[in-house]
Structure 1
């Protein structure tokens, strides 16, 4: 259980992590700020269930990324050759099903990566560690971190391209 004082002591750090995570998902600065505000309110209500500062940071990062991705999915736009933009609307159920299928597919692809590549990618993308921190945590060379990260990203990109060609 996290007390009010403990939460307020780390609130600024949590907000920065939430903004960074939302911005990394591809929404604008204003959108990232909105997401961070929503996440901070949600974390405040859940503070009795949060066990540590690390737990709170993890929740903030993941929740912000997920909320940002939801916002992006809800506002897909398609440009026409005339320059007019049409907003596609889908039912919430369709969007939810598609999001679940995509998430399940991505989780399978991540699990298919070699364990070290998966771990390096998770530390970099989810826990927002820099390459030097990852090298120290895993006890490998800095150059190895960059290589493993590159290989993992290339593999996922190739898998995404294959999947998109099928649909």
Structure 2
């Protein structure tokens, strides 16, 4: 694989990697450094990558594994970027307070999910990845990713319903 091929097939995916890497590592600065390391690692393996049947899947799984390695090696304190819900500004303070409360509740629910479900719901609903991209990154079948997402959303829904129905009887 030459420089032009690498740029078009591998390096062009770096922007798609950023949301996942940023969320996993907790900050944009760490994500930028990690993506550079990932691209260097892939560049060194460019001859083997050319023959790979699923280059996009290889790039996503390499990025995910690199982030996991970083998190295992370093125990730095990351920002709470596990679930970045955008809080809409509102003129009504009570609405804004409710949105902030909802954000905190959803963060707690998502944090309590099993690892695979948490990863799938974050990659799909927060990062916006397609099912095939998630399956490639997590080395799962697309059907399994759909099941994990469905179960995660069900848990979030049930927990939110329990939270908001509490004391309404």
* TM-score, normalised with respect to structure 2: 0.46
* TM-score, normalised with respect to structure 1: 0.47
| Bigger relative CO (Cα 8 Å, ≥ 6 apart) | 2
